Structure 1
Amino acid sequence: MAPTPVVRLGIEVSGRPRGLWLKLEGYHPYGSIKGRTALALWRDVADRLDPGVGLVESTSGNLGLALAALAAAHGVPFTAVVDPRASAALLYDIRALGARVVTVDTPDGAGGYLLNRLARVQGMLAARPGLVWPNQYANPASPAAHATSTAPELHRQTQRERMSVLVAVSTGGTLAGFRQYVAASGADWELVGVDATGSAALGGPSGPRLLSGIGSSRPSAFLPNGHRPTVYVGSEEAVRVCLWLRDTTGIGVGASAGALVAAALRLFRADARRTSAACLCPDGADRYLDTVFSAAWRRAHGFAGPAVVPGVRVLTSGGSAGQLAEEARS
């Protein structure tokens, strides 16, 4: 499969030039980094699948769409267990692929819906013998996919430059895979976990969270001892950076990527020795048109401020996302 593109932005932070790499996983054939995870999970469970019963997975949306596409291609029934924060457009596409969508709308008391989504999955497994759950939350196929594919791909694309590499956390599988790659390869990376304020994924206290695709109601099974360094980003900051990036560069990224770029800018401000950073952007703006990029949604959540990031200026761009996508495929 062709690599996803990377855009390099030359930026100025507090008057100092910096390099910011954005790896745009929205250009994956399944529309997000979860396409890589889905392929790995599918291969792991394929020999156990009963086409008469199928498989089920708890998902915030992106993994569900990728699994729905794989299931449809193989004639296997698939059920996505989601919650009210899932993108309406994603749910439409999942259903269009013939998958069933089950929405769990009772909060779990830990800032999200995950614990109740998992309880629903367990109930379905008990009721339907033969139903397969790939379990993206603990299946070692998930970090392995990123250790052998995503991380080395980024390392090559950034010319093995010494840099900070920022990875958003939900299940923790992607970050765990990057840790495996760094340990095995000796990549000269400062590997930074980025989590949502109110997330327990890396050991922080749980609390209310608004954005989908980043954060968790429970600690990551892949990273039981957490990760250092970790940067926590609030919803309003992530949204503001998404809008700023779109307005200043024309690049549209999702909420998790907004949190990553916000964290990278903080790191640049904190230490003048950090001159380069890469953000693994999990998906694109297309999956957030009814949330982050909706003025009505932002007003409803009190995010009425301007899309301004003080002290940061974009100097140069390494090319448009579309151009780099074509280069990556050639």
Structure 2
Amino acid sequence: MPVISVPDAFNEEELYVDLRSVFGHPLFLKCEGFNFAGSIKLKAATEMVESAEREGALTPDSVLVESSSGNLGVALSMIAASRGYHFLCVTDSRCNLTTRLMMEALGSQVHVVAAPESPGGYLAARLDYVRDLCAADDRCVWLSQYTNPANWKAHYRRTAPAIARSFPQLDVLFVGAGTTGTLMGCARYFAQWDRHVHIVAVDSAGSVSFGGPPGRRMIPGLGMSVRPPLLDDSFVDEAVRVEEAETVRACHRMARRGFVFGGSTGTVVSGAMDWLARHETHGLTAVAIAPDLGERYLDTVYQTNWVRGLYGDDVLDSEGSTPTESR
């Protein structure tokens, strides 16, 4: 019986969903949302905070500051509340209302950048605001998830070894690409493994992480409007891009079977299913990482009017394939 005294002491690592019965292709989905932060971002948040503490950057008077589209903000809010730090999350209007309310419930301050003010879109506007805060107040400590090596090290040390223990015959791993912390940590780990694992990065259409023109992205989590500083292409075998309408379809298809996952998970699953449909899967062991659950997306991805207003009246009418674009 687990008994804990701090919320980050619990994280379910061994839960997988077999999606073959839902989509018809063999895929094990590693569920990362069963912790008190509700997403895989708890690992990166914990690693970055503990690294800053070891380096002496954090003191009782420090104010943690971070740019986040949502999930990392919740994870840092939880850790800050547990350890007695002040935390300010800089987000933008795409952040789900439920996520913002969660951060505020944990005692954090949330600043919403209302509109992009630079060529880099919302992300650049958020980063500019964070830099101005840090320049104006020397109590501010910016963990910088986009450049902090502790981000990918969290997954090198925890996520990838957990997958390796459960699937010693792993052939292909699908990982969503946002800051690319999860992607780089897992890819670096399996690059040193005793058998080749095909690493497939799953990105949102409109993201520039793997090239291509920028475009509108309304579902927070994956994708970047600038190239991720942590990304090293040499560790990635392939990248696929998923249209947001297909993200929505994948989420709703899983929900019809009782599995309510978040938008990032819908993107990863959609990209994985397209890849599997184009390859021989007999005897193949494939795993995908589900970053989050779906409760925080009830007013967006799972809200009919929101979905149809953005993606059209027929977006929820199809149970067909989930096409993506390969790199």
User: Which category describes the TM-score, using the shorter chain as reference length?
Assistant: 0.7 to 0.9
Q: Give the whole-Å Cα distance in 1 for the aligned partners of 2:70 and 2:281.
A: 38
| Alpha carbons 1:4, 1:27 under 8 Å: kept | no
Which residue of 183, 187, 193 maps to 1:175? 183
Q: 1:108 to 1:188 in 2, by over 3 A?
A: farther
| Alpha carbons 1:202, 1:223 under 8 Å: kept | no
Aligned to 2:4: none
1:284 partnered with 2:296: no
Q: Give the whole-Å Cα distance in 2 for the aligned partners of 1:296 and 1:3.
A: 35
1:36 partnered with 2:43: yes
Amino acid at match of 2:228: S
SS of the residue aligned with 2:19? strand
Residues 137-148 of structure 1 mapped to structure 2, 5 A cutoff:
137-148=146-157
| Alpha carbons 1:161, 1:188 under 8 Å: kept | no
Which residue of 94, 98, 106 maps to 1:97? 106
Amino acid at match of 1:113: Y
Residues 1-330 of structure 1 mapped to structure 2, 5 A cutoff:
1=10, 2-11=12-21, 18-46=25-53, 47-108=56-117, 112-157=121-166, 159-225=167-233, 227-247=236-256, 249-273=257-281, 275-305=284-314, 306=316, 308-310=318-320
| Alpha carbons 2:17, 2:30 under 8 Å: kept | yes
Q: Give the whole-Å Cα distance in 2 for the aligned partners of 1:215 and 1:143.
A: 16
Q: 1:23 to 1:110 in 2, by over 3 A?
A: farther
| Per-residue Cα deviation, 1:46-77 (whole angstroms, up to 9, x for no partner) | 23113223110000111111111111112111
Task: Give the Å deviation of 1:203.
Answer: 3.0
Task: Give the Å deviation of 1:225.
Answer: 4.0
| Per-residue Cα deviation, 1:119-151 (whole angstroms, up to 9, x for no partner) | 000000000013101110011111111011001
Q: 1:299 to 1:9 in 2, by over 3 A?
A: closer
Task: Give the Å deviation of 1:311.
Answer: 6.4
| Per-residue Cα deviation, 1:207-265 (whole angstroms, up to 9, x for no partner) | 22121001001001111547430000011011011101111x21111111111111111
Q: 1:29 to 1:5 in 2, by over 3 A?
A: farther
Q: Give the whole-Å Cα distance in 1 for the aligned partners of 2:318 and 2:28.
A: 20
Amino acid at match of 1:253: F
Q: 1:174 to 1:12 in 2, by over 3 A?
A: closer
| Alpha carbons 1:125, 1:131 under 8 Å: kept | yes
Gaps of 5+ in 1: 313-330
Give the number of the structure with larger relative contact order, counting CA–CA contacts within 8 Å between residues 6 or more apart: 1
| Alpha carbons 2:171, 2:196 under 8 Å: kept | yes
Amino acid at match of 2:273: L
| Per-residue Cα deviation, 1:146-172 (whole angstroms, up to 9, x for no partner) | 011001112222x32233211101111
| Alpha carbons 1:160, 1:187 under 8 Å: kept | no
| Alpha carbons 2:25, 2:273 under 8 Å: kept | no
Q: 1:284 to 1:303 in 2, by over 3 A?
A: farther
| Alpha carbons 1:203, 1:225 under 8 Å: kept | no
SS of the residue aligned with 1:154? helix
Aligned to 2:5: none
Amino acid at match of 2:287: A
Among all aligned residue pairs of Structure 1 and Structure 2, give the percentage whose two residues are the same amino acid: 34
| Alpha carbons 2:86, 2:108 under 8 Å: kept | yes
Q: 1:298 to 1:81 in 2, by over 3 A?
A: same
Q: Which moved more, 1:281-290 or 1:24-33?
A: 24-33
Task: Give the Å deviation of 1:109.
Answer: 5.5
Q: Give the whole-Å Cα distance in 1 for the aligned partners of 2:94 and 2:69.
A: 7
Report the count of equivalent residues.
307
Task: Give the Å deviation of 1:111.
Answer: 7.2
